[in-house]
Amino acid sequence: IKHETQQFLSSVLSQRGPSAVPYSEDTKWLIRQHLISLLTTFPSLEPKTATFTHNDGRTVNLLQADGTIPMTYQSVTYNIPVVIWLMESYPRHPPCVYVNPTRDMVIKRPHPHVNPSGLVSVPYLHNWIYPSSNLVDLVLSLSLIFAASSSGYPHPARNNYPPSPYSPSPSPRPPHTEDPTEVFRRNAINKLVEMVHNDVTSLRKTREAEMEGLFGLQGVLKQREEVLDKGVKEMREEMEGLEQQLQMVLMNTDVLEGWLRDNQGKKLESLENVEDAFECVDVLSKQMLDCTAADLAIEDTLYALDKGVQVGAVPFDQYLRSVRVLSREQFFHRATAAKVRAAQLQAQVANIAARSHHYGS
């Protein structure tokens, strides 16, 4: 097959836009292989693009194989002009085959496989199975069927076609004895054709198996691509979250560094109470700080009483009275802290709602 033909097929099948052929992307590679195999086996066919008109008037730009296919009848080879249209759903559905007779060729009526419009109907087309069916086997089947039904098939009348095997004269044909050499030659050719056909079929099956493997690998790669895309998306979201946390840490660091700069020159000795160095932002925060400090102080006192009663430094009855009083006071502080915490949460929710309303307006 010519390199220009391969380039033509690659160019047509890779086109995009309004001028693109209407085949699905996942079958274009298989269409190219079918046509290359057909043109390699039958060089008399040529790939083209042409406008096909459906019965409902729709027109579409399709690929076709135009030319002749050989038909052998009584050792005479006839070239049958045909056009093989690759429809939009090819190769999942069979192509349309038309006999395109010349002016000096006649299609006898009725013909078992060709209707008056030239449309061909053969079992191979009716029994088309994707992806095993292909154009090479189709043309081989057409050649055999045309030869078997040659009595009702178009016969050439031009000089450049082999003469008809039937004599137009009504007189009987003279007896003819075949030359043994010619018989041997014909049998050898038929055997060679059969061997080539078997080799082509075997090679096609091998290529189909390889193609199925490639399709499977394509599916695996597609799944891995989806997994990688999902992983990259999750990593980007995590990175954005970490960047937000980093910005928050940097902001808090700036606040702490500013506080240190403001209070670095102050002498803690000038403060009557060390706790005065810390100021609460509101009343609820101060109340929470006081309750938490009292709770922890009582906890430390209870721990010290436990140690004292263990070593005998505190009488047991005094230990029980002190624990009862301190526990009651600790319960009070913890209950107060819980109420303060609830009030703080309500204040935060109200603040967020107010800001959302402000930004929304």
pLDDT at residue 147 is higher than 70: yes
**Whether 92 contacts 101, CB under 8 Å:** no
Residue holding tokens 């160095």? 277
Per-residue pLDDT, 295: 94
The DSSP secondary structure of 176-207, one letter per residue, reads ----HHHHHHHHHHHHHHHHHHHHHHHHHHHH
**Distance of alpha carbon 110 from alpha carbon 212, whole angstroms:** 42
Kindly report, residue by residue over 165-174, the tens digit of the pLDDT.
Answer: 333 333 344 4
Residue 162 confidence (pLDDT): 43
**DSSP-H helix ranges across 264-315:** 283-311
- What's the first-to-final CA gap in the chain, in angstroms? 72
User: What's the pLDDT band for 233 if we cut at 50, 70, 90?
Assistant: very high
- CA atoms of 92 and 193, how far apart (whole Å): 28
Q: What backbone torsions phi and psi does residue 98 show, to the nearest 5 degrees?
A: -125, 135
pLDDT band with cut points at 50, 70 and 90 for residue 144: confident
Residue 155 has pLDDT above 70, yes or no: no
pLDDT over 90 (residue 326) = yes
Please provide the average confidence, as pLDDT, over all residues in the chain.
Answer: 83
CA 213 to chain centre: 16
Instruction: Quickly state the pLDDT bin for 93 (edges 50, 70, 90).
Output: very high
Q: Taking 50 as the threshold, does the pLDDT of residue 163 lie above it?
A: no
252's tokens: 């808090």
Is the per-residue pLDDT at 98 higher than 90? Answer: yes
Where is pLDDT greater, at 183 or 353? 353
Cα separation, 20 vs 14, in Å, equals 8
Instruction: Spell out the alpha helix ranges (H) of 46-173.
Output: 123-126, 135-148
| pLDDT band for position 182 (cuts 50, 70, 90) | low
How far does CA 64 lie from the centroid of its chain? 29
**Average pLDDT score over residue span 304-327:** 92
Tell whether the model's pLDDT for residue 109 goes beyond 80.
no
Question: Residue 323 burial (CB < 10 Å; 0-12/13-18/19+)?
Answer: middle
pLDDT at 157: 39
pLDDT for 308 equals: 92
The b/e string for 37-48 (b: 16+ C-beta within 10 A; e otherwise) is bbbebbebbebe
Angle between helix 135-148 and helix 180-263 axes, rounded to 10 deg: 160
- Residue 354 confidence (pLDDT): 81
Q: Average pLDDT of 282-289?
A: 88
Q: DSSP letters along 93-126, please?
A: S--EEEE---TT-B--SS-SSB-TT-BB--HHHH
What is the per-residue pLDDT for 114? 85
